[in-house]
């Protein structure tokens, strides 16, 4: 596809369950970002990759959050032992090194 693809679109998890969210960036895009958007708020930065290198993970809320991009393309955001406060839309975006950010449609995570 031509855009950033995220899966699943919706995820319902029981509290304590582990989840994995996938992002397929635009082909050739070097930079990849994860953002968290709570209801009624703007996106909050989580982490940034340049190719396979995670250059900034300062926005990850706790050590339960882990992101990887092992081959410099697809990325996975993993949340261990989910809590209710983790409920949010998780957005992935990609870009050329210094270019326009293209966002995916997001994964809406609901933790019950």
Chain residues in the site for another protein (CB under 8 A): 4, 31, 33, 35, 40-45, 48, 55-56, 91, 93, 98, 100-101, 103-106
Shortest spacing between CB 56 and another protein, in angstroms? 7
Q: Which is nearer to another protein, 3 or 16 (CB)?
A: 3
Shortest spacing between CB 67 and another protein, in angstroms? 15
Give every CB contact of residue 37 below 8 A, 6+ residues apart in sequence: 43, 44, 88, 89, 90, 91, 106
Sign of torsion over alpha carbons 58, 84, 82, 36: negative
């Amino acid at each position: 596809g031509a855009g950033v693809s995220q899966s699943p679109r919706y995820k319902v998890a029981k509290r304590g369950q582990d989840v994995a969210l996938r992002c397929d960036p635009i082909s050739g895009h070097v930079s990849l970002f994860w953002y968290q958007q709570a209801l009624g708020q703007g996106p909050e930065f989580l982490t940034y990759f340049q190719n396979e290198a995670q250059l900034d993970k300062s926005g990850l809320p706790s050590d339960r959050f882990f992101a990887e991009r092992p081959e410099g393309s697809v990325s996975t955001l993993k949340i261990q032992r989910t809590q209710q406060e983790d409920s949010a839309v998780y957005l992935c975006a990609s870009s050329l090194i210094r270019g326009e950010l293209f966002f995916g449609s997001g994964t809406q995570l609901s933790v019950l």
